[in-house]
Amino acid sequence: MSLNGWLQITLFIALILLLAQPIGTYLTRVFERRKTFLDPLLVPCERLLYRLTGIKPEQEMRWTGYVSAMLVFSASTMLLTYLVERLQHWLPLNPQHLANVEAALALNTAVSFTTNTDWQSYSPESTMSYLTQMLGLATHNFWSAAVGMALAVAFIRGIARRETHTLGNFWVDLTRATLWVLVPLSIVLSLVLVSQGVVQNLRPYDTVKLMEPQKVTTPDGKTSTLTTQTIAQGPVASQEAIKMLGTNGGGFFNTNSAHPFENPTPLSNFLEMLAIFLLPAGLAISLGQMVGSPKHGWAVLAAMTVLWFANSALFATVTTDASCGAVNSMHDSFMPLGGMIPMANILLGEIVFGGVGAGLYGMLVFVIMAVFIAGLMVGRTPEYLGKKIEAFDVQMSMLYLLIFPLIILGFSAVAVLMPNLGLSSLANHGPHGLSEILYAYTSATGNNGSAFAGLNANTPWYNLSLSVAMFFGRFLMIVPMLAIAGNLAGKKIVPASAGTFPVTTPLFTTLLVGVILIVGALTFFPALSLGPILEHLLLRAGASF
Amino acid sequence: MYDAIAALMTIVFFTAAFTYLHACEQLRTRPRND
C-alpha cells in the first residue's frame, strides 16, 4: 500500500484515540444523569416526553424488565416500519409514485432496520418513498443505535453495581442516548455533509439530457439509444449522518457511500469513517469510567485497536497483491483472500469497534471468557473487577458465543443444499458462490448489513431466512448478555488479592485478542477453507469462478 | 399471503425471544447444590 494510505490509516486511528476520551466522558455524564452543557435545552424536552408517556424515570428495572421493555419497543417500531412500507403508495412524500413494498421485502427491511443491520435487498431510490426513508428507516437509525447504547450501559451497570438486582431504566437510557448523543451529533454532521455537497431536498427526481446519447443492448438482444438520465434526489444528508454515527449502514441510494450525493469529497469520506468509530470508541472509555477503572476501558479499546490495525495491515497486503486498493467497492470484486477479510471482521463477532453499544457488549462477553480462561490457568475462581465469574455467567457467555455460528453455518448449509431456494439466485458457483451465501448470513446475523454482491437476495427464501438470521442474531444474543449483567449486579465485590488477574495490563489485552482470534478461527475456519481459501488455491491453479 | 407469513413470523420471533428470556431467568434463579 502507498505511503498516503498508511498516513491516512495512522491519522484516522490517532484521531479516534484522541476523541475517545472526551466523547467517553460525555457519554458517562449523560448515562449517569450528571450535568452536561446541553441540559438547559434538553432537560425540559426530556421531562415533557416522560410526562406525555407516563414514564417514571426514577423507577429501576431488573434485567428481565429491561429486556422486555426493549423487546416491546422493538416490536412496536418494527410494526410501524412494516406498515409504512406496505402503505407508502397512498401516503404523502412520494413524488415518484412508487408502489407499496412487497410483503416479504417489507418484513426483511423492517427486521433489518430494527436490528441495526440495514441489510438492503432492494434498490432504495426505485423502491422506497421519501416518507418511508424518513419515517420508516431513518428513525430506526436513531432508535436501534440508542437501543445498542442503552444495552451496553446496562451491561456496564451490571459490572459496576453490587448487591442489587436492577440495571437502570430502559426508557430513560433510550431517551438520553437519542436526545443527548445521537440527535446533536447528527445535526452537526448533516450540516458539514451538506457543505460538502450531499443533497437534502424533497423534490421529484431530476431528468437530464445526456451530452452524448448512449446505445444500450438489453438482455433480450434489443438495441436502443438513451438520451436522458434520471438523477435521484432526497433528504440524504440527514440520513447519511445518523447512518454513520449509529453504525447502521443502510444507504439512501443503491450504491451507498460510493454515490456522489452520499459521499462527494475525500473530506466527507474521512468524516464518515470517523463517525462510524466515534461512539464505539467512546463507549469503551465510558466502561472504564463507570466501573471505576479507567485503565480497563483503555485496555478494551486497545484490544479493539490491535484487531483493527492487524486487519488493516492484512487487508493492505492482500489488496496490494490483488492490485485492488479501492475501499468503496463490491467485496465480490476482491480477490478471494481480500474478500475474506471483511467477512472475517464480522465473523469475529462484530467487536472490532463493532456496532454502537453492540460492539462493546460483545467485547465484554469475550472479556468474561478471557478472565475465565485466565482463572482456569491458575486454578482459581475467575474474578472480573471484583465479581466472581461463576457457572451461570460462563453458561450465558457460551450461549452468546454459540448462537452466532449456529445461525450463520446452519442457514448457509440449508441454502447450499436447496438448489431451488438457495442456489437459484446465485451469480457465481463453486467456492465463490459459497462465499456469497456465507457472507449474506454472516452479515445478517452479525447485524452488519453489508453485502458481498453477486447474490440476488430479493427472493422469498432469502428475504425470509435473512429476516430470521437478523432477528435471532440481535435479540437471542442480547438476552444471555443482559442475563449476565443481571447476575453480576447481584454479586458482592471481592477484594483483589495476589491471585487476581488484572484487567488493565497489556497482558490482559493480549489474552483478550488471543481468545477472540482463537474462538473466531476455530469456529469458522472450516467454512472459510471451503469458500475463499479454496478459491484462492484454485485461482493459483488457473481456475476462476 | 406473504402479509400473513410476515405477521406469523413476527409473532414467532417475539414469542421465542420472551420464552428464551424466561428460560434464562429460570436457569439463573434455580436452586444450586454447588
How far apart CA A236 and CA A112 sit, in angstroms, is 19
Q: Which of B6, B10, B24 sits opposite A479 (nearest CB)?
A: B24
Q: Which of A68, A395, A460 sits opposite B21 (nearest CB)?
A: A68
Are residues B10 and A106, on separate chains, in Cβ contact within 8 Å?
no
Q: Where are the domains of chain B?
A: 1-26
With contacts defined as CB-CB under 8 Å, which chain B residues touch A487? 28
| Global pTM exceeds 0.95 | no
Q: Which of A63, A396, A475 sits opposite B17 (nearest CB)?
A: A475
With contacts defined as CB-CB under 8 Å, which chain B residues touch A475? 13, 17
How far apart CA A367 and CA A300 sit, in angstroms, is 8
With contacts defined as CB-CB under 8 Å, which chain A residues touch B16? 472, 476
Pull the grid cell for residue A238: 440527514
Average pLDDT over residues B5-30: 92
**pLDDT tens, residue order, chain A (545 aa):** 678 878 888 898 899 999 999 999 999 999 999 999 999 999 999 999 999 999 999 999 999 999 999 999 999 999 999 999 999 999 999 999 999 999 989 999 999 999 999 888 889 999 999 999 999 999 999 999 999 999 999 999 999 999 999 999 999 999 999 999 999 999 999 999 999 999 999 999 999 999 999 988 887 888 889 999 999 999 999 999 999 999 888 889 988 888 999 999 999 999 998 999 999 999 999 999 999 999 999 999 999 998 887 776 665 554 444 333 334 556 666 777 777 888 888 888 778 888 888 889 999 999 999 999 998 888 888 899 999 999 999 999 999 999 999 999 999 999 999 888 888 888 888 899 999 999 999 999 988 888 777 788 888 889 889 999 999 999 999 999 999 999 999 999 988 887 788 899 999 999 999 999 998 778 999 999 999 899 999 988 887 77
Interfacial B residues in 5-34 facing A (CB < 8 Å): 5-6, 9-10, 13-14, 16-18, 20-22, 24-25, 27-28, 32, 34
Residues 6 or more apart whose CB falls under 8 angstroms from that of A392 comprise A483, A484, A487, B27, B28
With contacts defined as CB-CB under 8 Å, which chain A residues touch B1? 103
Q: Check if A104 contacts B (Cβ < 8 Å).
A: yes
With contacts defined as CB-CB under 8 Å, which chain B residues touch A63? 25
Task: Give this complex's ipTM.
Answer: 0.91
Are residues B2 and A107, on separate chains, in Cβ contact within 8 Å?
yes
CB A435 within 8 A of CB A535: yes
List own/partner pairs for A496-502 with CB under 8 A and 24 or more apart. Answer: A496/A383, A496/A386, A499/A378, A499/A380, A500/A383, A501/A371, A501/A374, A501/A375, A501/A378, A501/A382, A501/A383
> Within 10 Å of residue A274's Cβ, how many Cβ atoms?
18
Nearest C-alpha neighbor of A367 from the set A486, A502, A495, A489: A502
Are residues A391 and B34, on separate chains, in Cβ contact within 8 Å?
yes
The minimum CA-CA distance between B9 and chain A, rounded to whole Å, is: 8
The minimum CA-CA distance between B10 and chain A, rounded to whole Å, is: 8
Pull the grid cell for residue A225: 439509444
Are residues A475 and B24, on separate chains, in Cβ contact within 8 Å?
no
3-class DSSP state of A541: coil
Burial (Cβ within 10 Å: 0-12, 13-18, ≥19) of residue A128: buried
With contacts defined as CB-CB under 8 Å, which chain B residues touch A476? 16-17, 20
Are residues A104 and B17, on separate chains, in Cβ contact within 8 Å?
no
The minimum CA-CA distance between B3 and chain A, rounded to whole Å, is: 5
With contacts defined as CB-CB under 8 Å, which chain B residues touch A68? 18, 21
pLDDT score at A521 = 79
Are residues B9 and A467, on separate chains, in Cβ contact within 8 Å?
yes
Q: Which of A79, A104, A487 sits opposite B2 (nearest CB)?
A: A104
pLDDT score at A315 = 55
pLDDT score at B33 = 62
Are residues A483 and B17, on separate chains, in Cβ contact within 8 Å?
no
Residues 6 or more apart whose CB falls under 8 angstroms from that of B19 comprise none
Assign B34 a pLDDT band (cuts: 50, 70, 90): low
